[in-house]
Amino acid sequence: MADASAAIDSSPSVSTSRKRLLDPIDRMAEVLCGLIMVMTFTLAMKHEGWTVHEVLLYALGCNLAWGIIDGSLYVIGCLGERGRNLRALRAIRTGKPEEGYRAIREHLPPLIANILTSADYERLRRELAALPEEVARQTVAKEALLGGGGVFLLVFLSTLPVVMPFLLTKDLRLALSISNGVALVLLFLTGFCYGRAIGSHAWRTGFITLAIGGILTVIALVLGG
């Protein structure tokens, strides 16, 4: 078992934040929701009464709004994670050993938590109890804001290709058709990359994601999204 203080001395909160930012499993949901949001807008468009320029501005606004929302939620998640770490460390330092074991177990993946022995938990509890509380406060502000900015760029740029057709043609009907086609391709690619990231069948996961994205888009349209 690695020494807990050595692990935390390497700024775990910072590395965890960066891993979350780069983790394709975490990011796929944001990209998927961004694509669904844009498709909900483009599929609901009426061909009459709109210019390509107007649609372009609204579609860009849609992408921008979702990027800001998602980046903000990322920052909120980082702050929540820091609070959770502080509560766990306080439980380990001031509570009974059983409370410390429970706090440690809640922070571990079930696969790892189930194979640790009582001696392992006790050693972790002692090492963590010796750490200053400031260790759990290392995350926030700068790293969280940088991470939120990274999520914003990821979501905005990943949905930007859906908007590009409105820059390439003045035919609104054609631009909408190309835009929706690009969105469907991106839905498939998102699922394909997700499948590879989790070690699943990439092609099958791509088609499943495409189907799920299409169904969710239809639901959003039917419910007035």
pTM of the predicted model as reported, rounded to 2 decimal places: 0.66
Domain extents for the chain? Answer: 11-222
Q: Tens digit of pLDDT for each residue in 184-201?
A: 898 899 888 888 887 888
DSSP 52-78: HHHHHHHHHHHHHHHHHHHHHHHHHHH
Instruction: Report how far residue 186's alpha carbon sits from residue 164's, in angstroms, rounded to the nearest whole number.
Output: 13
pLDDT-based confidence at 22, cuts 50/70/90?
A: low
pLDDT tens-place string over residues 155-185? 888 888 888 888 888 888 888 888 888 888 9
pLDDT at position 207 is 92
* Mean pLDDT (whole number) for 82-90: 81
The residue-averaged pLDDT of 38-44 equals 76
CA distance 225 to 220: 5
55, 172 contact by CB (below 8 A) = yes
Q: How far apart are CA 1 and CA 74, in angstroms?
A: 31
> Residue 81 pLDDT > 50, yes or no?
yes
Of 41, 27, 40, residue with least CA distance to 70? 27
Q: What angle do CA 201, 203, 209 make, to 5 degrees?
A: 95
